[in-house]
Amino acid sequence: MSNVFIAFQHNEESRPVVDAIVADNPGAMVVHSPGLVKIDAPDRLTIRRATIEEQTGRAYDLQAIQVNLVTLSGHIDEDDDQFTLSWRH
């Protein structure tokens, strides 16, 4: 099994996204560094628009994660409702 990861700038805008990722991906491990928050997950990681909306209490355009995105690793599969990183076998 290989890890996928995604990293964001560590700021108030990315906090609900990180919280949503942790809520939806129980195996995810969060590492905080100065100015950066990185989330690793075994094999697959999904970011759901609905969970971010629950965290923020307002509508959320999933494309907005790009603003604070620093880097990622894995194959991307995305639509209006979710953004998934995985390693295809």
* Average pLDDT score, the chain: 94
Structure tokens at 4: 């996928």
pLDDT the model gives residue 89? 56
Mean pLDDT of 24-53: 96
Put the strands of the sheet holding 82-86 in their side by side order: 44-48, 82-86, 75-78
pLDDT the model gives residue 88? 75
Are 51 and 42 within 8 A, CB to CB? no
The predicted-structure confidence for 43-84, as pLDDT tens digits, reads as follows 999 999 999 999 999 999 999 999 999 999 999 999 999 999
pLDDT the model gives residue 46? 96
Q: What is the pTM of this model?
A: 0.92
Please report, rounded to a whole number, the percentage of residues in the chain having pLDDT higher than 90: 94
Q: Is pLDDT above 80 for 1? A: no
Angle at CA of residue 14, ends 11 and 16, nearest 5°: 120
